[in-house]
């Protein structure tokens, strides 16, 4: 965890992930997903922003492997990657204290 055992690539990766999280709408999405599994339309309604924007933000979360998707009777359901859920929540909690 020390800087000298962290390569440039790892640093880059980590700051990429942080950038992905560092956005109000995406944080809201992560909050919503930390409670439930949701499809895109549910997220659109919950967030009150247009569909295209939600899809864009989901794309960024997907590209950073923060969420995963599964198709179920016509809808795409998003959820937090279960292996990462704990860390995502703890991370946000830490930031909350900063």
Nearer to a copy of itself (CB atom), residue 55 or residue 89:
89
Q: What's the closest the beta carbon of residue 74 comes to a copy of itself, in angstroms?
A: 27
Three-class DSSP labels, the chain: CCHHHCCHHHHHHHHHHHHHHCCHHHHHHHHHHHHCCEEHHHHHHHHCCCHHHHHHHHHHHHHCCCEEEEEECCEEEEEECHHHHHHHHHHHHHHHCC
User: Any contact of residue 1 with a copy of itself (CB under 8 A)?
Assistant: yes
Q: Please list every residue from 35 through 94 that binds DNA, using CB under 7 A.
A: 39-41, 49-53, 55-60, 69, 73-76
Sites of contact with a copy of itself (CB under 8 A)? 1-3, 6, 8, 10-12, 14-19, 21-24, 27-28, 31-32, 35, 65-66, 84, 87-98
């Amino acid at each position: 965890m020390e800087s000298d055992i962290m390569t440039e690539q790892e640093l880059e990766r980590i700051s990429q992930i942080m950038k992905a999280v560092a956005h109000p709408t995406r944080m809201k999405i992560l909050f919503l997903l930390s409670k439930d599994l949701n499809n895109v339309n549910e997220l659109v309604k919950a967030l009150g922003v247009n569909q295209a924007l939600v899809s864009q933000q989901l794309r960024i979360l997907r590209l950073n492997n923060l969420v995963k998707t599964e198709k179920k009777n016509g809808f795409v359901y998003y959820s937090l990657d279960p292996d990462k859920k704990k860390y995502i929540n703890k991370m946000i909690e830490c930031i909350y204290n900063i």
